Amino acid sequence: MRFRTPFLCIVAAVPLVMLHGVVPRSVENVPSIAITDVSLFDADLRQMRRSMTVVLRGDRILAVGPDRETTVPAGAHRIDGRGKTLLPAFVSAHAADQDLLPLANLNPAELSRFIAVQKGWQIAIAPRLVQMEQELVDEQQDEPSFERLLTLVRKLHHAGVPIIVKADSSLRELELYEKAGVSRLDILYGATLGAARIMNRDDQRGSIQRGKLADLLLIDGAPDRHIADVHKVALVIKGGQITNPSVH
């Protein structure tokens, strides 16, 4: 087993989260920003919260709460979040560099020991399922081995082994995670707070909470219902700065 030196970066526009629109412009010198009536991914609870308001000031999240209970500061720049989903910016984290295919052929006792070690030490894995699909299914015509690999990923996930969704994952990668039995909400968690916790940076990143960095993605869709919607990024906020073609 080999480990890579970890690093962390906030993703603004990579293959996993491509901007949905034309070349954007920046909005600066806005005293505060309020995103209203938005569906919010609560990474701590791994659930969606509807009709929420998020207030930003500078590079920090100032307030998070239901629309009716959250005060929007006078003069704030308002963004209508109806029909959209607000996510924490995806966090890029390195996980254990492992070839999982041999593990798919372990007997139950050996697999249980492996899972116990991974879970006990909280050693994260980031299966490259698209690569394995290409090698096993497309090139070798060995679909049974690939199905065993998906079963292994499902067992690891259900046992509590951290599954990290890498920031450069393609849409097909996300679809294969879902096919393996990882729920859409758990996929979002693995790309946000799960990755931040592995990197020991969850005090600042990975979830939408008061006081954390204002690094967010506004999605034009509902990735909790259709994981492909993560590609429909309508707006990026990085350090409290908005990037969107329709905001002036």
Q: Are 235 and 242 in contact (CB under 8 A)?
A: yes
Which tokens hold the place of 108?
């139950």
Does the pTM of the predicted model rise above 0.85?
no
What are the two backbone dihedrals, phi and then psi, of residue 196, each rounded to the nearest 5 degrees? -65, -35
Read off the pLDDT of residues 152-171 as tens digits, 9 standing for 90 and up.
999 999 999 888 887 777 88
Alpha carbon distances (Å) from 125 to 53, 101, 194: 34, 13, 11
The CATH T-level fold of domain 9-92+201-243 is: Urease, subunit C; domain 1 (2.30.40)
Write the pLDDT tens digit of every residue in 207-222.
Answer: 999 999 999 999 999 9
- Closest by CA to 56, choosing from 237, 243, 244, 245, is 237
**Residue ranges covered by each domain of the chain:** 9-92+201-243, 101-198
In the chain, the percentage of residues whose pLDDT exceeds 70 is: 83
Residue-wise pLDDT tens digits, 39-75: 999 999 999 999 999 999 999 999 999 999 999 999 9
